[in-house]
Amino acid sequence: MKKTLLTLTALALLTGSAEARTWEEIKRSGTIKIATEGAFPPFNMIKGKQLTGFEVDLAKELATQLGLKVQWVTQPFDNLLIGLNQDRYDFVIASHGITPERAKAVNFANPHYCTGGAIVTRPGGPMTAAALKGKKVAVQVGTTYLENVRKVPGVGDVKTFPKDTDAQAALMAGRVDAWVGDKFTGIDLVKAQKGKVIQGDMLFKESIAMAVKKGNSGLLKELNAALAKALTNGSYAKISSQYFGQDVRCK
Ligand code: LYS
């Protein structure tokens, strides 16, 4: 069953049919349509009724530089790249790690932050890859966390959840031994839970990038240029320090 689902997803990713909007068409319309998850604090989330977060603010900054208004679309994480290839929006900014498999289906921009997947557990729980042997681990479906946890030799039951916050909740409720998620998200969870959970080792590193439909090179070029500008004119540094208290760009 799991194998069938994966194959279908791969197929949907590879078979976008209609044409994506070109840069010229976007520019002419004056509005760019951007998709994100809206459930991955502090990167993209809904606060009150407002979509906010590091990636939301960064994308707004890029759009301003490009002289465009923004129309946001939120989608469950594992639908985002499929919707991109169905031309439901112009690009995705949703903390996608650049992986060879995803790069077959979409084009990635230059990375807008560097991070990794880290273990979080309750005190006394597994802190290293070796310690995950035989343990129950919670991860969000469709993510690099799932892909990498599956590779841990002897790992016990890997439980998948639609949202990252659901996977964290499973750890807090004691239904799993560990949660593997983004290292910055983990730092925030540890802080918020005041010692009820602790962060263990980082399992893997990843570079995070925006995605455009495969072949949409005009838009990709504009996004990369706007990102390069944000990285040098101080706007990226300001947004990053607001959300993380540090600069999270790839070094
Ligand atoms: N960075 C992870 C990935 O690339 C997950 C990010 C989104 C989690 N809500 O799959």
Answer whether residue 249 is part of any domain.
Answer: no
- Over residues 155-182, mean pLDDT: 97
User: CB count, 10 Å around CB of 117?
Assistant: 24
Ligand 1 pocket: which residues have CB below 6 Å? Answer: 37, 40, 77, 95-97, 140, 143-144, 164, 182, 206
Instruction: Name the pTM for this structure.
Output: 0.93
Answer whether residue 12 is part of any domain.
Answer: no
Answer whether residue 3 is part of any domain.
Answer: no
Percent of the chain with pLDDT over 70: 93
pLDDT tops 70 at residue 15: no
Residue 197 C-beta-side C-alpha neighbours within 13 Å? 27
For residue 183, give every residue at least 6 positions away whose Cβ sits within 8 Å of its Cβ, in sequence order, or none: 115, 116, 117, 118, 199, 202
How many structural domains are present in the chain? 2
Answer whether residue 240 is part of any domain.
Answer: yes
pLDDT tens, position by position, 59-78: 999 999 999 999 999 999 99
pLDDT at 4: 43
- Over residues 27-45, mean pLDDT: 98
Long-range own/partner contacts, residues 169-172 (CB < 8 A, 24 or more apart): 170/138, 171/120, 171/121, 171/122, 171/138, 171/197, 172/196, 172/197
pLDDT at 10: 57
Answer whether residue 10 is part of any domain.
Answer: no
pLDDT tops 50 at residue 177: yes
pLDDT tops 80 at residue 5: no
pLDDT tens, position by position, 144-155: 999 999 999 999
Closest CA to 188 of 201, 204, 172, 199: 199
Structure confidence at residue 19 as a pLDDT band (50, 70, 90): confident
44-47 and 91-92 beta bridge pairing:
unpaired
Give me 180's structure tokens.
Answer: 């593997």
- How many Å lie between the centroid of ligand 1 and the Cα of residue 97? 6
**For residue 161, which phi and psi values (nearest 5 degrees)?**
-130, 150
In the chain, beta strands by DSSP E: 31-36, 39-40, 44-47, 50-52, 69-74, 91-92, 106-108, 113-121, 137-140, 158-161, 178-182, 198-208, 211-213
Same domain, 168 and 233: no
pLDDT tens, position by position, 97-145: 999 999 999 999 999 999 999 999 999 999 999 999 999 999 999 999 9
Q: In testing the pocket of ligand 1, which one of 182, 204, 207 has its CB within 8 Å of the most ligand atoms?
A: 182
The mean pLDDT of the chain is 94
Give me 74's structure tokens.
Answer: 């939120």
pLDDT at 38: 98
Q: Which residue has the tokens 């929006």?
A: 89
Give the domain CATH number at 172: 3.40.190.10
Same domain, 88 and 71: yes
* ipTM summary value: 0.97
DSSP 3-state of 51: strand
Domain containing 230: what range?
Answer: 23-113+209-244
The ligand 1 atom at the shortest distance from the C-alpha of residue 146 is 10
Answer whether residue 251 is part of any domain.
Answer: no
